[in-house]
A and B are shown apart, each in its own frame.
Chain A
Amino acid sequence: MRQPVLEIRNLDVGYGLGDVALRAVRDVSLTLHRGEVLGLAGESGSGKSTLAYGVTRLLPPPGVITGGEVVYHPENGSPYDVLALGDRELRAFRWAETAIVFQGAMNSLNPVHRISVQLTDVIAAHQPDLSARARAERAREMLRLVGIAADRMDAYPHQLSGGMRQRVMIGMALALQPQIVIMDEPTTALDVVMQRQILRQLVALRERLGFSVIFITHDLSLLVEFADRIAIMYGGRIVEEAPASALYRDALHPYTAGLLGSFPALRGPRRDLTGIPGSPPDLTSMPTGCSFHPRCPKAFEPCPVTIPPLGSPDTPGGSTRTVACLLHPATNPEVR
């Protein structure tokens, strides 16, 4: 039986309030299970980073969470809603339970402090009774874990390469042995070889340490290879969620199919890359009905009118996946 570690329920995140408000994440429900890698993919502006910032309550103003809950299941203890935590509890929750590796590998480290300072201050903040020596030892251990020589402890960020910096960030994320690591496009700024290397390392570390990963990227090909399950976001909603292999073999949503058709397969016969016509929707004026219908090659009459609910499709193995498309009517649409 798979245990959930993080349950996002009907999360709504917007920017601004009142008439000018913009809904970047709409009614998203998503469950992360213990020990799994959940991939979150979509074009720029689909709301995937906003979702990650919302879950960790790190939204920069004017971002606001307008509804929903984020239930965290600690390893031992009863589950609680992250969105309802007070300041002090939230600080304790951060990094110790949910660590994040951010998009900008280059700018995630403070340029004026040594690596050692930035690795140990987080340990000091969460485990104040640990001695300075023990903290330094833990920090060295974390660097070894991600394959960086311990003598780089005293280096400044600018003395490290981009790949090393991102590995330092991954090491830092694991310093408190969190249950969840959120990775927000952690490898976008790196070259392809370095991307693979870091992801391999991440997968190996996960097998050793057993944390769960939410991996956010616009590169679906990476997820097909590394993720257990993949959720596809479009216009602030989840449009499809399925085990990685099922999604790759048999994408149900036309948008997923479009994403899959826009990168080359490593094996098998050559085929033309198609891409998706049009551009992502403007969040201030979303299309009516299914927000993908203006770009959808398979759109038919009800698409501009009816918002398709997310639910399990009536296909073989349909119970393990969900999709929001009128072509695949849900057998058990979630009650709204």
Chain B
Amino acid sequence: MKHLLQRVLFYLFTAWAAITVNFFIPRLIPGDPVQALIARYKGQMSSDAIASLYVLFGIDKHASLWSDYLKYWKQLAHGDLGLSFTSFPTPVSEIIASSLPWTLALVGITTIISFLLGTGLGVIAGWRRGSWVDGLLPVTTFLSSIPYFWLGLVAIALLAGPGSYFPSSGGYEPGLVPAFDSYFLSSAIQHSILPALTILISSVSGWILSMRNMMVTVAAEDYITVAHAKGLPERRVALSYAARNALLPNVSGFALALGFIVGGTLLVEIVFSYPGLGFQLFRAVGAKDYPLMQGIFLVITISVLVANLLADVAYLMLDPRTRKEG
């Protein structure tokens, strides 16, 4: 327990550092949102309009960084992430709340499927080394070296388009109102198949490779020979002795991958114009929407830290050697 408490304290410190950095980064980027708007209107704005925009965005006062920083923490404490610059009166928390479920559903489910599928195939490939399964390995190596977004572009070019079953962009048919009815859900699933396949194909190989390699390493351990010598059934040796031990690095990798679900597949969401958090981040960066960027970064940071903690807990549960005596 003491060990876990130490980890929690460490993550709290990391969270503080990350939030602080998060506060500074947008302010270090040259330009400000008003400049961006002026550029968008190609300078056809009166100086009055510009001045009122500065007031509107609350960056007219030239307050000190320190007081800005304090104000930032005070707002965070109230769960207030500020108002978005681009869709002005909407609070950032609302934008995040509306796009987070899309990302969680698409990337979350594919990450879990990818992990289960990849680890399972990896166990088989590692245990039956030298069988036909080994023939898959060069293919998976090739697939794992392909960037997500490129695969997405290829998928759109080949499979999507007018008249095709697969839509090339969006999360659901435009004009539908998001609701939990069969019509909306089927549309959402139809829109998610291509991005999901893209992520699955390029990420499953990594799980296969790492699991297979760990299986091969573990299979050479003495306790595997002992398990064979004990005359245990092949299945038990493969699962309870080899796979159980080989799984450890993959499980912590999985916990970390869960943390990156929120922000990790930005490029896929951009390619498919998927209404998830990554796409919002992309738009926020383009429009210099500080509060939205900060809000999204915050969510990503926290989920990565939580995932780290999860990885620690998983390791403690799976590997008795990491548990301290007493």
Contacts and interface: CB of A to CB of B under 8 A. Distances in A.
Contacts of B220: 60
A107 B231 contact: no
A95 B228 CA distance: 9
Interface of A: 56, 58, 60, 90-96, 99-100, 102-104, 107-114, 121-122, 125-126, 156, 158-159, 169, 172
A112 B244 contact: yes
Interface string B207-227: 000000000000011110111
Nearest to A99: B229
Given A102-B222, A121-B236, A110 B227 contact: yes
Given A156-B320, A156-B321, A159-B325, A109 B231 contact: no
B231 A108 contact: no
Given A112-B319, A121-B236, A102 B226 contact: yes
Interface in B254-285: none
Contact of A95 (B222, B229, B244): B229
> Which size bracket describes the interface of B in this complex?
20 to 34
A60 B245 contact: no
B159 interface: no
A93 B230 CA distance: 9
Q: Give 7 closest A-B pairs by Cβ, nearest first.
A: A94-B231, A107-B222, A156-B320, A122-B230, A91-B231, A110-B223, A104-B222
22 contacts: A58-B225, A58-B229, A60-B220, A91-B233, A94-B228, A94-B231, A95-B231, A96-B231, A100-B226, A103-B222, A110-B227, A110-B244, A110-B245, A112-B318, A112-B320, A113-B244, A114-B320, A122-B232, A125-B230, A125-B233, A125-B236, A126-B231
A108 B230 contact: no
Contact of A58 (B228, B233, B319): B228
Nearest to A159: B325
Contact of A56 (B229, B233, B241, B245): B229
A172 B269 CA distance: 56
B127 to A, nearest CB: 13
B212 to A, nearest CB: 17
Contact of A60 (B225, B230, B248, B319): B225
Given A107-B221, A107-B222, A112-B245, A125 B232 contact: yes
A93 B228 CA distance: 11
Given A60-B220, A92-B231, A94-B231, A158 B226 contact: no
Residue of B223, B230, B232, B319 contacting most chain A CB atoms (<10 Å): B230
Given A91-B231, A92-B231, A156-B321, A111 B245 contact: yes
A94 B229 contact: yes
A100 B236 contact: no
Contact of B222 (A91, A108, A113): A108
Given A107-B221, A107-B222, A108-B222, A158 B321 contact: yes
